Structure formats: C-alpha cells, structure tokens
Structure 1
Amino acid sequence: MSTLFSSLRKSFLVGPLALVLLVIVAGCSGSNTGSSPNSAASPSQSADGGKPATGGTFTYGRPAAVNSFDLHNQITSNNAFAIDKVFEPLVAFDNKGEIVDWLSKSHNISKDGLTYTFVLRDGLKFSNGTEVTAQDAVFSIERHLKVGGPLAIAAQVVSVKAQDAKTLVITLKEPYTPFISELSNFSNGIIPNNFGGVSEEEFLKKPIGTGPFVVEKWDPAGDVTFTKNTNYWQEGKPYIDKLVYKLIEDDSQAINQLKAGEVDAIESLALQNANELKAGTATAVLTNGSWVTEQLFFNTLDQHFSDVHVRRALALAIDRNGLTQALTFGFAKPANSLLPPAIPYNTNDTIKALNYDVNEAKAELAKSKFPSGFSTKLLIASGNSARAQEAQIIQNAAKSIGINIEIETVELATFRERFFKYDFAAMLNSGQADSPEANSILAFQTDPNGFSKSYWTHYTNEEVTKLLYEGQKTPDGESRGEIYAKLQQILADEVPYIPLYFPDILVGARSSVNGLVVLPNGSLRFEDVQLKK
C-alpha cells in the first residue's frame, strides 16, 4: 500500500532544515545488499561534542489515539507509528529511504531472486531480556502470512525456516521484486515465538519487542506512555527515559501547546503554520521530503463517480498549481501523477495529465450521463484546517462546471469508519508509501482484489491490474519503469483519484530537542533524541 494515511496516518538536529530525499532501491541479486545503521556501533555524541544528554520525558502531540499494537492487522499511522517503537523488522529504511540491515547484521538475495537469507545480530534481546532467535523470526513471518491483514505479504512464500539459531531463510515460488523493501514495513516486525508463552490477546495488551521503547501505560482512547527498553541492542540508547504520545485532535491546539512548551514536538504540522514555527526562537521545523500524495478520492460505486467523464471533468476543473500554492506555503509540489517524486519510477514530470482547463472540463462533463451537472457530497475529517480549505477550493471548482458539492465534516474515527464501508461519494485523504518502493502505493491503490479494493474506490481496470502484477515480477530497471509509466498514465486518464500535491512531511519541535530523526513515511525515530537541560 501504504500506511497510506497521513490523516489517519530524517537524521538531523532540530532546526529549519530541508533534506533532499535520495531513494536507492535495494538490488535483487548478489550478496549483501544492506548496511548497518550508523548509530548501531556506538552511542552518538551530544550537539556540543560531549557525552549525549540522557534522561527526561519526551512528549509528542499526535492527532489520533493508538488503539491497537497488532502489527499484522493495522495500517493507519496512528497505530503504525507506535507499533514501530516496540517491534522492529529484519531490515529497515533510513532517513534517506535506503534499505539497511536492522535486526539482521547481513542479508543475501540469491541471483534468481527466490532465496532470502538473513543473519541476526549478536546479542539481540527482547525487552523482557530473552534472546532473539531465528525461530522468533519464523513465527513472526508465518503469523503475518496466516493473518494476511491490510499489509499482507504479497510474495508467494514457499517456506520460512530457521537454518540455525541466528540464520533465517525465506524461499519464494517466483521472484517478487518489492519483497526486500516490504520486509522493512512495521508490519514485519519480529515478535517472540508463540507470543512468549502467553495468549495472543494478553501479548497485544502488553507487547514485547526489540524496539527502543516498552509500553508502560496505554489508553486506547487517549495517551500512551512508553519507557526506555533497557535491553535495546543499540548500546546506550534510547537516551530519554520516557516517551509520551499525547492525544491532541485539533491542529491549532497542537501548535499552541508546542509554543507553550507543553509538548516537545507535534505530528502532522499544518503547512500554513510551518513558517511561523521556523521563525520562533523556541520552536523549529523538521522536514524530510515525502512519500505522500494528497488526493481527492472517488467511490466508483457511486452513481456519479462511476462515470469516467465526471471524474475527468473534475480533474480538469481543479487548478492544482493554484491549490498547492494557496494551501502549502512552499512546502509541497503540485501532483500530476500518483507516485511522489521521492519514490522510484514516478512520472510526475513526464506524464500527460488532465491540466486545468474549465472549458475542457465542461466539454468532458457534457459527455457524461449528467451533462447538466448534479449534487453530491465530499467527506473530510475534522480538526484539519488545511483540508477544510482544500475542500472549499474543490467545491468552488466543481461549481464552475455545474457540480454542487456539499462538504461533510466528521470526526476522524467516524471518517475512517465511513470510507472503510464505502459510505462516501468523494473524500479527501492522502496516499503514503510504507517503503521506498513504487509497488507500495500502486498495489494499495490499484488492486481491486487487495485489502483496500483500490483504496476503497473499488476502481477496477484489467489492464492496470495486469501491469501491476507484471511490475511486481520484473527486476528493477528500464523494463520495470516502462510498465509503471503505462500504469500511471492510465490512472491519469481515468482518475479514480485526483493527485493534488506532494506535501513535505513537517514536524514541529521545541528548540530544546536534539537528535530527532524524521523518516520519509512520516514516522519518527526517538532513540537518538536528547533533551537539553
């Protein structure tokens, strides 16, 4: 998919820094294709070159509560970005989007792309002090294969075996190019064999993993308090004693609490507030490009939006450049295609998009079953002022060609429930890659047989599905790029969703924070965080 929800759902010191995201796709042949995280060898220094500052509680304001730690059954960022603090995968992606070894100290992919061998790091322990073995990895991956879930393992896995206590071998039936990248997803974290001897239900209430933090207190409708994992494999880390996820549902309240020092950082910083925080003496903004595409989604089961001419008419009626300029304050790029520029095989600068042209939009609507226009609704989640403005711009654009849109604003949890049930005509949301791999977004948004039925649009196109599957089996290179270029062009022509812009991921933080790592999927790494005293 994608965790694919910034509304549902980077190493540098705090400061108004921007990072050009360089994405390197892991190869699918040869020997070791990964590298160890730089921070694993020894504790990093503090900003002034001395010993790292330790201790303290870091409070992070987030717009949605954590309601589950079941890594195999979750997808939205409210849960994903808490799960990844407790469970860790064999390989991960760093702040540049590169695949690196994580719990594995090395990995090897056979030349035929069918055999993946991972060797675990020495001395790995779970947070309860028990040793991590290859059998734990076997159990974790087999449980994921059994459960499936929203981020199911799509590769055709023949076997998952522990060759010895430290070596895991995964064999595939046929090549699946995205596999190594997808193993970096939070959903492929390693959990203890047989849930550590307790029931599944008990384990998920008090999860045990290898991550830098352990769940201490958890309110599924409110806050989560994590404590430092004293058995963490990165020596001396994390530096902070506690991490608190504080629920702040309104973005204006989040800004105010950050300014007042009630929180140390806030998630999903509204773009319109970024420059204000950058200019503040006590606040700063972190950014790291983005794997996100802001989109207008259509339910193709709806009587109006099942008509491709209606969708094309709206795409032509919306001035994406003007919308982006008005809403994002220089922290986003207009989107012509589905894949963000930071993801390989994106065609944003070469695709033939339906660019803004009101006369063409009216002509396209005239070809539809509703040439005189119609009335419909646009579903959005509350608490996001930028989305509210975005909806109004789209409402005005639609009105210019005879389509009357009523904006329907609901609480975030209700918003999710509604589109999960296809209870919407159109909605505003974002698509987000979970890993540096084109298939991460394309599969989630185009596969009618997948978990989300093409991101709950129910869009179905046999040629698109065929291209999607071809892309999964084709090795990285020019041929794979041609497949994805064709696929993206069909999506641009039939617009089951309209890509609007690619927003930078922005995190607001206090200037007293050092070492916060922002990842291009929107998650943060807190193990290097130091609080100035």
Structure 2
Amino acid sequence: MTKLKATFRKTIGMGTLTVMFVVLLAGCSGSNNNADTSNGAQASASPAATESTSTAEPSAGGTFTYGRPASVTSFDLHNQITSNNAFAIDKVFESLVAFDSKGEIKDFLAQSHTISEDGLTYTFVLRDGLKFSNGTPVTAEDAVFSLNRHLTVEGPLAISATVESFKAQDDKTLVIKLKEPYTPFISELSNFSNGIIPNNFGGVSEEEFFKKPVGTGPFVVETWDPAGDVTFTKNTNYWQEGKPYIDKLVYKLIEDDSQAINQLKAGEVDAVEALSLQNAGEIKDGTDTTVVTNGSWVTEQLFFNTLDEHFSDVHVRRALALALDRDGLTKALTFGYAQTANSLLPTTIPYNANDTLKSLNFDAAAAKEELAKSAFPNGFSTKLLIASGNSTRAQEAQIIQAAGQAIGIKIEIESVELATFRERFFAYDFAAMLNSGQADSPEANSILAFQTDPEGFSKSYWTHYTNDNVTKLLYEGQKTPDGDARAAIYTELLQTLADEVPYIPLYYPDILIGARSSVEGLVVLPNGSIRLEDVRVSK
C-alpha cells in the first residue's frame, strides 16, 4: 500500500488563510490567522497572477523587508510544514523541479528529467556549475543524501511513493526507481521538503547544519531569532546569474494585522504576507501601496468532527450544508477576492470537477427535511471552534451560526488563541471548526490524501471521516496515469464527499500580498509563498 503524504500549513493572521498558514502550511491566502493544509495540482491562477510593478527606475542592491505574522522556528525542511517555516526554507533550499506562478512544473536544479513509460524510473540531469552557497559543487550524491534523509525522516510531507532506490549514476545524473507507479511523484518533488542539501550535512552535525543552513537558494541566513526576525543575505554563488538583485532580505515579525498595515503604509516594510481580504481595498487604493495577487490552492472550509455524536450523523451534516448560503457568505466577506466553492478542490487544480459536481446548495426547506431524517429532528446545541484574531473567520462563524439557528441547530462560537486552537483540533476536541485546506504542490492528490485518508498523518484533516470506497478511489487515483480514467476516479470521489459532507467547502480565496508601489518583480505563488530572485526596490 502506498504511503500517503500529509501536509499541513498555517499562516497566522492569514492568509495562507490557511492556518498555514501558522496555523498550518500546507498553507495560505486571503484571510488571516488560521490553520491550514495542503496538496495541489497543475494550476492556472484565478485571477491571472500579477507581479508588483513600479513606475520609478528600479535598481539592484538594498534591503527588502517583508512583514510576516509568525516567526521562523526551524529550517529543517524534512520536519516542517507550517507556512511560517516553509516560506523561509524555500529561500535557502531548492528542489530538482519547481512550480511557477501558474502552478506548472518546471525543471529547476535539474536541467532536464525523463520518466520511463512504465512510470517507475525517473532520471534527472543537474545543471552545469551548480554550487551550494558555501561554494562547493552540487552533485547527484547530494541529491541522493537529501532524498534518502527525507525518506528516513518521513515528516509531515513525507515521500509518499514506494521508492526502490535513489542512485547517483554520475556526478550530474540522479536515477530514482519506484516499486510501483505513483502519478503525483513528479509534482510532489517540487515541494520545499524535497530541497537539496549537502551530502552528510557538509561534514557538520545535523543540529549545527540547520542553525546555519547551506543550500542552493537565492538567500543565505545571516542572523536568526526563532522568536523574532530573520535576516538573509544574497547568495553570491546562486546559479541564476546576477540574481537575486537585492543584497538583503529581512523577515520582520509583525503579529498584529493592523500594525502590519500601518507599517506598510508608512514604508517601514516593503511588503506584508497574508493580507486580509477586508484590508485589500484600502491597500490597493493607497497612494504608495498596491496588492499583488494570484489564484490559490486554498479551500476555506467548515469541518465536522465525525466522532462527535451530532456530526457523525450524515443527515445533520447535509442539513447544515443545505442551510448555508455559501454564495451569500462569499460575496459578503471576500470583497471580490474569492469564488464560491463547489468542490473540495480549487479551480486552479486539475480534476476539480467544479463544473459537474452536484453539491448541496442553499435550500432552507430541504435543510429542514434533511434534519428531520436525522437522529436529532428537533435540533440540538453544539459548538463551533475558531482561532481568535481573524475577523473574516469570526464573521463566517456568525453566518454559519445564523444558518444553523434557522433549522433548529443552536451553535455557540468558541474563539480561542491560535496555539490552543491547533491543540484542540489535533486532539479531536471540537465538534465543528473553521479552517482551510491547501495544496503544497500542483497535484489533486495533495489535498485529497490529506483530507480523506483516516489512517494518514492528518486522519482526514482531523475529522476522522472514513469511507472505504473513498479510500479505495484515493489509492486508485495515485496509481492511475493522468487522463480521462484518473479524472473519472476523482469525479466519483469528490461527488461522494459532496454527498456526505465531512466538510463544507465555502470559497477559494485569492492569495493577497500587500506591497509598496516601489517594489518590482515580486512573484506570488499559488501556495502562498513568493519568489524574490527578481525583486528590486525603486529608490
């Protein structure tokens, strides 16, 4: 049986909306302070991805300061998943392949790759002249060591394919052999967790290495406070000649959304992560500020604990889905920076079935009829858990509360501090909660594995939803080549989720980054991270 990958990301204050977002990675996008997850597929961003532009003449050099809602606590790429760490790790370490702003997989440290017809052999040829930031050459043996370490450590973004071997054919050629086909493999290799590190940690201890990491990325860690800021310097050995253009990158910890906005407007930071939906208009219309956006791999959701006495009843879950006006909620809360969800998978991910899925749309009469079929026809009282500090989530909760009240379900909103929120849902100490799911790579399996496997890392995103046919379809989708057959598998799987609603997809938020108008070349990725190799700041 194929080992499933699990991903979870958060963005405090979010944005990786995600509670990625630090709620969790996996994740990230238009709202704030949340916990999210991940998993994705080739995407075409929704709206078209934008880059920051400036009318003044940009120049190389200088410092780019980025306001972020959570500090970087670790650079161990194999043991991390939350966005606060992931989006720093990906500035230091790079993978053989990577996804661009449209979610398309491109060769990166590899100049080329081939996949055998049987899907079992992957061959990568490294670029000429690759060096680590300390000037030592990058070889295929480094890639073997990196991937073997990931396979051994496993971690939250474990290598899910059943690997037979990683082998350096020569200094530049890496050959990976699988025991059985695993279609998402090439996409998952683009995860930050599959970055290349020096063989044997470059001769230092593991602990010492991750305190002062050496990678191939555009930046090198200069100073780092796990409870505060990180300062990066330019990697002078970077393989993209002449890049990055900036000399320094500062990740500045700003935990309060309003403070982040004020510092952006005052020019104290050049950009802020996880711009909340409600603040987007103010920043977009600002004299010296702008919004850089992209479609995302995020789905905002209402999650049910299927171990709870009430939400173990499928008729209760269906009743609440029918009672909720998702279109109205989306229009009221997202200011045009999101679209109503019809499927668990965002429209930026292949096989999302958004156009064909029959979901439980708003119908108050049908909602009451559905509740009458349940074990609680006269209604009941329950609680909805949310992380505090996120105004969008608070408003979502109020709308859901009103929808429940309309059919006899009394919902108490329980708002707790983010760390407590995470502890609670990890322990299944909730009846229902608001959170986000997000892909870490452009592959449908990314979200589906995280949210439908009751035995996986996240236990179906801590809902413990279990459906044997869904699990069977999940594994079939992993082994089936891309094409109509795989599409049919995911359509059936997604329809089952729409019918049984272990979670209600609410909307797909765009990723929003607030930036100074003087910033040029900022690229937003659909997982909520940003590329900074081309960033320049006008003087």
Bigger shift: residues 140-149 or 303-312:
303-312
Which residue of 234, 239, 261 maps to 1:233? 239
Q: Contact 1:249/1:383 (CA < 8 Å) preserved in 2?
A: no
Bigger shift: residues 337-346 or 403-412:
403-412
1:436 matched to which residue of 2?
A: 442
In the alignment, the residues of structure 2 paired with residue 324 and residue 104 of structure 1 have an alpha-carbon distance, to the nearest angstrom, of 41
Unpaired runs of at least 5, structure 1 = 10-22, 26-45
Which residue of 451, 459, 468 maps to 1:462? 468
1:324 matched to which residue of 2?
A: 330
Cα shift readout 1:498-529 (whole Å, capped 9, x = no counterpart): 10001111111000100001011110011111
Q: Contact 2:441/2:527 (CA < 8 Å) preserved in 1?
A: yes
Which residue of 121, 128, 143 maps to 1:122? 128
1:384 matched to which residue of 2?
A: 390
Shift in Å, 1:421: 2.2
Q: Contact 2:56/2:538 (CA < 8 Å) preserved in 1?
A: no
Shift in Å, 1:250: 2.4
2:364 matched to which residue of 1?
A: 358
Q: Contact 1:149/1:451 (CA < 8 Å) preserved in 2?
A: no
2:209 matched to which residue of 1?
A: 203
Shift in Å, 1:4: 4.7
Q: Contact 1:433/1:441 (CA < 8 Å) preserved in 2?
A: yes
Unpaired runs of at least 5, structure 2 = 1-5, 11-15, 22-40, 44-52
Bigger shift: residues 490-499 or 387-396:
387-396
1:8 aligns with 2:14: no
Which residue of 416, 422, 430 maps to 2:422? 416
Cα distance change on mapping 1:448 and 1:367 into 2, 3 Å: same
Cα distance change on mapping 1:373 and 1:219 into 2, 3 Å: farther
1:310 aligns with 2:316: yes
Which residue of 189, 196, 199 maps to 1:190? 196
SS at match of 2:455: coil
Q: Contact 1:378/1:406 (CA < 8 Å) preserved in 2?
A: yes
1:525 matched to which residue of 2?
A: 531
2:276 matched to which residue of 1?
A: 270
1:103 aligns with 2:115: no
Shift in Å, 1:363: 1.7
Q: Which amino acid aligns with 1:214?
A: V
SS at match of 2:132: coil
1:72 matched to which residue of 2?
A: 78
1:34-73, aligned counterparts within 5 Å?
53-73=59-79
Shift in Å, 1:186: 0.6
Shift in Å, 1:110: 0.8
Cα distance change on mapping 1:442 and 1:225 into 2, 3 Å: same
Cα shift readout 1:391-440 (whole Å, capped 9, x = no counterpart): 11111111111222222222223222222222222111111111111111
Shift in Å, 1:240: 1.1
Q: Contact 1:108/1:118 (CA < 8 Å) preserved in 2?
A: yes
Shift in Å, 1:66: 1.6
Bigger shift: residues 475-484 or 258-267:
258-267
2:290 matched to which residue of 1?
A: 284
Cα shift readout 1:146-170 (whole Å, capped 9, x = no counterpart): 1111111111110000001111000
1:294-305, aligned counterparts within 5 Å?
294-305=300-311
SS at match of 1:467: helix
SS at match of 1:140: helix
SS at match of 1:216: strand
In the alignment, the residues of structure 2 paired with residue 410 and residue 220 of structure 1 have an alpha-carbon distance, to the nearest angstrom, of 24
Q: CA RMSD in A?
A: 1.7
Percent identity between matched residues is: 80
Cα shift readout 1:483-505 (whole Å, capped 9, x = no counterpart): 00000000001111110001111
Bigger shift: residues 231-240 or 320-329:
231-240
Cα shift readout 1:270-322 (whole Å, capped 9, x = no counterpart): 11221221111200011111111100111112222212111111111110000
Which residue of 137, 144, 154 maps to 2:143? 137
SS at match of 2:59: coil
Cα distance change on mapping 1:55 and 1:48 into 2, 3 Å: same
In the alignment, the residues of structure 2 paired with residue 147 and residue 464 of structure 1 have an alpha-carbon distance, to the nearest angstrom, of 28
Q: Contact 1:333/1:501 (CA < 8 Å) preserved in 2?
A: yes
